Amino acid sequence: MAAGTTAAIVKTIGLRRIVAWGVISMTVLAIPAFFAGFLFVTLFSTPAGAAEPEGGTENIPPGAWVVPLSVDYRITSVFGYRPNVKPHDHFGIDLASSCGDTVRAATTGVVTFSGWTTGGWGNRIIIAHADGSKTGYAHMQMGSLLVKVGDAVEAGQPIGLEGNTGVGTGCHLHFETFINGIRINPVPFMSERGVIF
C-alpha cells in the first residue's frame, strides 16, 4: 500500500516538483546553518596574532598613565548623550584603530572583572588602581582577553584585542573611567594624568 501511495503522489505532483521542493527545503535549512556556523567561528575563534599582541611596558615609568590602544586611533564617540544609532547615555569614549589591535592597561592596577558581560559591553575588563579609580575596557574580541580577575597589571601591558563584541557598530574600544564607582568622562580624567586623546 505504501509503495502504491508513493507512486500515486509522485504521479499526481510530479517528480520534478518533488525534487524542486526537496532542493528548496534543503537550501532553506542549510542557509541558517551556514550563517550559524559562520557566526560561531567569528565569535569564538581566536584571531591570528592574538597570542602575541603588540606593545609592552619596558619604556613606561612607574605610575605613568598611557593611551589604552597601542597604535594610532581616532575617537568615534564621545562621553555623554548619544542621539544617533540607538539614543542613550554613553558613559565612556570609543577609540577605534583597527580590529585586532592591542588594548593596553592605562596604568598599573589589579583586574576586578574579566569576561563576557551583559549591558552591551561584550568582552570587558575592569582594572582597579591605587588611587581608588577604575578603568573599563569593552567590546574586545572573543578569545583575546589576556588577564583574569586578581591579576596585577602594569601600565601599557597588553590585556586584549580591539573588537566588536556586545552592542556596537564596528571594531572599537569602549574606554571608561570610574571614581567612587561612578563613570566619569575619560578625556579630562586622563588629561589630569598626562594623557591627551
pLDDT score, position 104: 95
pLDDT digits (tens, 9 = 90+) for 55-92: 555 667 778 899 999 778 777 666 555 666 665 556 67
Question: What is the CA 46 to chain-centroid distance, rounded?
Answer: 12
Domain coordinates of the chain in residue numbers?
2-44, 74-191
The grid cell for 98 is: 583597527
Distance between CA atoms of residues 43 and 49, nearest Å = 16
Q: Cite the beta strand spans of the chain per DSSP E.
A: 74-77, 80-82, 88-90, 93-96, 102-104, 109-117, 122-128, 134-140, 152-153, 158-161, 173-179, 182-184
Q: Which CATH number fits domain 74-191: 3.60.130.10, 3.30.930.10, 3.40.228.10, 2.70.70.10?
A: 2.70.70.10
Interval 1-11 mean pLDDT:
63
Task: Supply φ then ψ for residue 183, to 5 degrees.
Answer: -75, 130
Distance of alpha carbon 24 from alpha carbon 50, whole angstroms = 40
